[in-house]
Amino acid sequence: MITDKLKILKIEEIKEKIDLTNMREEVTRIILDKKQIIENTFVEDEYLKIDLTNAEIIGLKSHAKLGDMPIGDLPAINYILSQDNKYKDANLLNLGNVKQLYKKYEL
């Protein structure tokens, strides 16, 4: 059913900087600092999740269908990650699609 492949961007700063007491600030800083790399890696407007356990940003653009109905990016990535031993117990945060992630910060 879902045959799309995950795109993975390793972000070592996640393991170095993430402190649970100020996690929001650190994650936001990393995402803003890595804007160009993220946009150049995820060029299909993939849905993104940040994996705090494995220090990665994971993306997926779904092309899957259930009959004639398209399966959205979020349900597709959730399904794939829940079936993967590496990610099913990871600490994951939803970031949304790439275009939406940085839309507010465009000049």
pTM of the shown model: 0.87
Q: Is the pLDDT of residue 20 over 70?
A: no
Bridging pattern class, strands 47-51 and 7-10: unpaired
Spans of all domains in the chain: 7-103
pLDDT reported for residue 18: 61
Helix, strand, coil distribution of the chain in percent, nearest 5: 40, 20, 35
